[in-house]
Amino acid sequence: MAYPFQLGFQDASSPIMEELLHFHDHTLMIVFLISSLVLYIISLMLTTKLTHTSTMDAQEVETIWTLLPAIILIMTALPSLRILYMMDEINNPSLTVKTMGHQWYWSYEYTDYEDLSFDSYMIPTSDLNPGDLRLLEVDNRVVLPMELPIRMLISSEDVLHSWAVPSLGLKTDAIPGRLNQATLISTRPGLFYGQCSEICGSNHSFMPIVLEMVPLKHFENWSLSMI
């Protein structure tokens, strides 16, 4: 999860988030090079009085500064489209979890089990145990198996919400009357925190999300204890 004064992204815990981080670094390097070049040209124009007339009127220069931005856009667009299709692709999910947004809590239903559903509320500050995170802990965590493809079906029962877990590269809108889906794969066990990322009313800040990723054996034991 994020720490105080953090400037970058959270550590990636899924293949999709790793791809997003690589794409971010790739695009940021292109932006850095373009900014450096523009700053260098501006500084030259402000510090020199010489003008090369043949360069200002050269057809070759105009061709270069027309083709170069197009090539840069293609270098940015192709990796972006690749990741976009990867995020929408779902191949034989091992588990399906339906998430419903409410004002102001989340409810979860494991559709592969006959009767496994619960509501997840934020724990008030006065009830926190030592070491718990304020505004992020919930009374019922979402326990999921790691290293398995999981399909999240996300919707809402009242207003717009957004189910987001940054370290897993997840952010999907919860829209009343519409069912959105997202793919979730965790490469390591642990607790992953998120929050509602769509302003949904007065208690929008009090809708945390906690995913507990565990090995498959532990998940089976937990599911049997819940049924």
Q: pLDDT-derived band of residue 57, with 50, 70 and 90 as boundaries?
A: low
- Number of neighbouring beta carbons within 10 Å of residue 190: 13
Transcribe 21-75 into DSSP letters.
Answer: HHHHHHHHHHHHHHHHHHHHHHHHHHH-----HHHHT-HHHHHHHHHHHHHHHHH
CATH label, 95-226, candidates 1.10.10.60, 2.60.40.420, 3.30.470.20, 3.10.110.10: 2.60.40.420
Task: Tell me the longest C-alpha to C-alpha distance in the chain.
Answer: 81
CATH 2.60.40.420 in the chain, residues?
Answer: 95-226
Kindly report the CA angle at 170 between 168 and 171, in degrees rounded to 5? Answer: 155
Cα–Cα distance, 39 to 1 (Å, whole number): 36
177-223 tens-digit pLDDT? 999 999 999 999 999 999 999 998 889 999 999 999 999 999 999 99
CATH 1.10.287.90 in the chain, residues?
Answer: 15-88
Cα–Cα distance, 17 to 183 (Å, whole number): 12
Q: What is the CATH number that goes with domain 15-88?
A: 1.10.287.90
Backbone angles phi, psi at 135, to 5 degrees: 65, 10
pTM: 0.84
